[in-house]
């Protein structure tokens, strides 16, 4: 049987796609599904998010009477919820490194199992310490592993219509969050405290199922035929390395040396020229572990199914994140730099990344705290419990309708996710200033609907902001850093704002402080947009001046 040819080109990473060329000159590229199995990924993401995000507002509904019976109602709730976010943030910090070592799906399933076990442990809780261990530590850490797994997998499956599909997933989460308190109330009435927790244990086991559907995107890539003329253009764009392998030879390379390892004694090492070409492209990798380290297009002719499966499997996690150091560049000093590289802390050297993380942290804290305090503020204004529940329901309905609206408009209008988030932050600032001056029921219902509608613009685009800025290889570590910073910021800022509220009893002052945190998101982002546009305009102007100088010099030379 004739040998197969593998052409590996060094086209730039963002546009690179593997292409498999079959017999009779049939060729195709592999693209993200943007649907298909990705719909199950959206559903799988909604399962743990619904149970976790809806459980926090319903925590008092479930454990209120139990905590009151042991005399630790108010203080324990603050400690337990803060510890939950802290454990979640630490799990997110290490998620990127765990993905590289064990794979995303394995880490996500582990998180789902921990979340399920944490709920089961709560059934036997008899003290606050038991709840902290079960709910905060075990469940929080498990949820912290699932969040980056869901968002990273989603980022791989969807490229063209991310906002639309994220809105779809968030709509499912919104529906589940609306039904969750009703279900909890019924379960508490029918089965009591521990019976309700036992049923919730079974419901939360669906988080494991949600993680099981997080298949590697290589399993479901979409085949797009490419024309012969496009193949010729690909070859002309950059140098080509031709590697000949037997059709039945798995494309698998050991980590120790750059060879194609097979059981066939005729298998050979790469030539020095081929090694050099591969190492130039994979300079950040510690070794050429497989063709997965090659991010350019791969064209395979006369490939057997076994070879294609091996090539797809080899591209899972073999690439090293952008910015990681090659062995020759590894620092000789010790643990600090090693930890920085392990956790990808070099991202913190990027001003734009830091601006994104701090802005999202302040905006999320402002949003969560505002909607937590709003019911208490309405009671202070003299609203009855039914009226307060009605206003909160109006805000939730507006939030849900906004998710549907965002999903529909994303089909027709493509807007960068960060601009959507920035618009939501700016408009929320103005809406809250209006909120602080309203006390009647109709006005409060209307402004709550507006704020609830804008709230979607702060939650749906959040992971997509990182997906648009970071390459896929660094998304997990970048989002993990954000989770760590956000969780600890909430842990530190929350008690300070709570102390101000307890001392002053002035909710309007607290709402102004929360609005200030929202401004800390919007203002630096606006400044960044202006600076970037100003620099871009100056660069274009300088380029135009340079071209004019060259033209003038050419004319002068002609005259002389």
Domains delineated in the chain: 4-32+221-319 (no CATH), 37-220 (1.20.1250.20), 350-541 (1.20.1250.20)
Sign of CA dihedral 393, 399, 405, 407: negative
Pairing of the two strands 27-31 and 222-225: antiparallel
Residue found under tokens 């990473």 = 13
Question: 90, 144 in Cβ contact below 8 A?
Answer: yes
pLDDT in tens, 455-514: 988 988 888 888 888 887 788 788 888 888 888 888 788 778 878 887 888 889 989 999
From first to last of its 560 residues, the chain has per-residue pLDDT tens of 444 333 333 334 334 444 444 444 467 777 777 778 888 988 988 888 888 877 776 776 778 778 778 776 555 676 787 788 888 888 888 887 888 888 889 999 999 999 999 988 988 888 888 888 988 899 989 998 998 898 888 888 888 777 788 888 888 888 887 788 778 878 888 888 889 889 989 988 888 998 999 998 888 887 777 766 666 665 655 554 444 444 444 444 444 333 333 444 444 444 444 444 444 444 333 333 333 333 334 444 444 444 444 444 444 444 434 444 444 444 445 676 766 666 677 888 889 999 999 999 999 889 988 887 888 888 888 888 788 878 888 888 888 888 888 888 877 878 888 999 999 999 999 999 999 998 899 999 999 999 999 998 898 888 888 888 888 778 878 888 888 888 888 878 877 887 888 788 888 998 999 999 999 999 999 999 888 888 887 777 666 665 555 555 655 554 45
For residues 246 and 227, what is the distance between their CA atoms, to the nearest angstrom? 26
State both tokens at 276: 């050099």
Q: What is the pLDDT of residue 303?
A: 44
Q: What is the pLDDT of residue 99?
A: 85
For residues 206 and 46, what is the distance between their CA atoms, to the nearest angstrom? 10
CA dihedral 81, 87, 92, 93 (to 10 degrees): 130
Residue 88, phi then psi, degrees to nearest 5: -65, -40
**DSSP, res 139:** I
State both tokens at 132: 């902290």
Q: What is the pLDDT of residue 550?
A: 52
State both tokens at 432: 């809250």
Q: What is the pLDDT of residue 421?
A: 93
Pairing of the two strands 298-300 and 19-21: parallel
State both tokens at 389: 């529940």
For residues 230 and 11, what is the distance between their CA atoms, to the nearest angstrom? 13
Q: What is the pLDDT of residue 545?
A: 60
Question: 155, 404 in Cβ contact below 8 A?
Answer: no
pLDDT in tens, 404-428: 888 888 778 788 889 999 999 999 9
Q: What is the pTM of this model?
A: 0.64
Question: 115, 204 in Cβ contact below 8 A?
Answer: yes
Q: What is the pLDDT of residue 385?
A: 75
Q: What is the pLDDT of residue 342?
A: 64
Taking alpha carbons only, the member of 3, 22, 443 closest to residue 225 is 22
């Amino acid at each position: 049987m004739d040998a197969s040819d593998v052409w590996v080109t060094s086209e730039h990473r963002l546009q690179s796609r593997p292409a498999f060329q079959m017999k009779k000159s049939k060729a195709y590229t592999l693209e993200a599904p943007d649907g298909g199995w990705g719909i199950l990924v959206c559903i799988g993401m909604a399962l743990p998010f619904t149970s976790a995000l809806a459980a926090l507002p319903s925590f008092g509904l479930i454990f209120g009477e139990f905590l009151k019976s042991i005399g630790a109602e108010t203080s324990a709730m603050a400690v337990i919820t803060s510890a939950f976010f802290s454990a979640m943030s630490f799990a997110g910090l290490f998620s990127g490194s765990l993905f590289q070592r064990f794979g995303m799906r394995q880490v996500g399933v582990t998180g789902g199992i921990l979340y399920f076990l944490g709920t089961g442990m709560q059934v036997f809780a008899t003290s606050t310490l038991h709840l902290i261990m079960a709910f905060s530590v075990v469940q929080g850490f498990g949820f912290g592993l699932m969040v980056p797994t869901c968002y990273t997998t989603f980022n791989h499956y969807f490229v063209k219509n991310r906002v639309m599909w994220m809105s779809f997933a968030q709509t499912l989460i919104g529906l589940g969050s609306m039904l969750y308190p009703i279900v909890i109330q019924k379960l508490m009435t029918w089965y009591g405290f521990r019976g309700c927790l036992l049923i919730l244990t079974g419901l939360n086991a669906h988080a494991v199922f949600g993680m099981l559907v997080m298949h590697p995107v290589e399993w479901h890539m979409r085949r797009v035929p490419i024309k012969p003329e496009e193949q010729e253009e690909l070859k002309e764009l950059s140098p080509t390395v031709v590697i000949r392998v037997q059709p039945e030879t798995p494309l698998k390379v050991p980590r120790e040396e750059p060879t194609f390892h097979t059981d066939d004694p005729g298998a050979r090492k790469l030539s020095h020229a081929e090694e050099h070409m591969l190492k130039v492209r994979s300079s950040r990798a510690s070794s050429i572990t497989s063709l997965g380290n090659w991010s350019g297009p791969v064209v395979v002719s006369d490939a057997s199914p076994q070879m294609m499966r091996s090539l797809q499997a080899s591209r899972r996690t073999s690439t090293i994140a952008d910015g990681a150091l090659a062995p020759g560049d590894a620092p000789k000093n010790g643990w600090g730099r090693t930890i920085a590289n392990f956790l990808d802390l070099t991202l913190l050297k990027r001003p734009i990344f830091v601006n994104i993380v701090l802005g999202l942290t302040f905006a999320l804290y402002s949003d969560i705290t505002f909607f937590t305090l709003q019911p208490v503020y309405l009671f202070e204004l003299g609203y009855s419990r039914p009226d307060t529940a009605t206003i909160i329901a109006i805000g939730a309905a507006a939030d849900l309708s906004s998710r549907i609206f965002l999903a529909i408009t994303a089909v027709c209008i493509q807007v960068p996710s960060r601009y959507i988030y920035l618009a939501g932050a700016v408009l929320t600032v103005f809406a809250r200033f209006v909120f602080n001056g309203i006390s009647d029921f109709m006005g409060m219902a209307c402004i709550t609907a507006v704020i609830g509608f804008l709230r979607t613009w702060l939650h749906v685009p959040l992971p997509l902001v990182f997906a648009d800025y970071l390459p896929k290889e660094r998304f997990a570590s970048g989002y993990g850093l954000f989770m760590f910073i956000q969780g600890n910021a909430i842990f530190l800022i929350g008690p300070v704002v709570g102390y101000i509220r307890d001392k002053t009893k002035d909710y309007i002052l607290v709402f102004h402080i929360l609005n200030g945190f929202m401004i800390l998101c919007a203002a630096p982002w606006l400044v960044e947009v202006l600076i970037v546009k100003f620099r871009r305009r100056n660069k274009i102007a300088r380029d135009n001046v340079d071209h004019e100088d060259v033209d003038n010099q050419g004319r002068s030379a002609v005259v002389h």
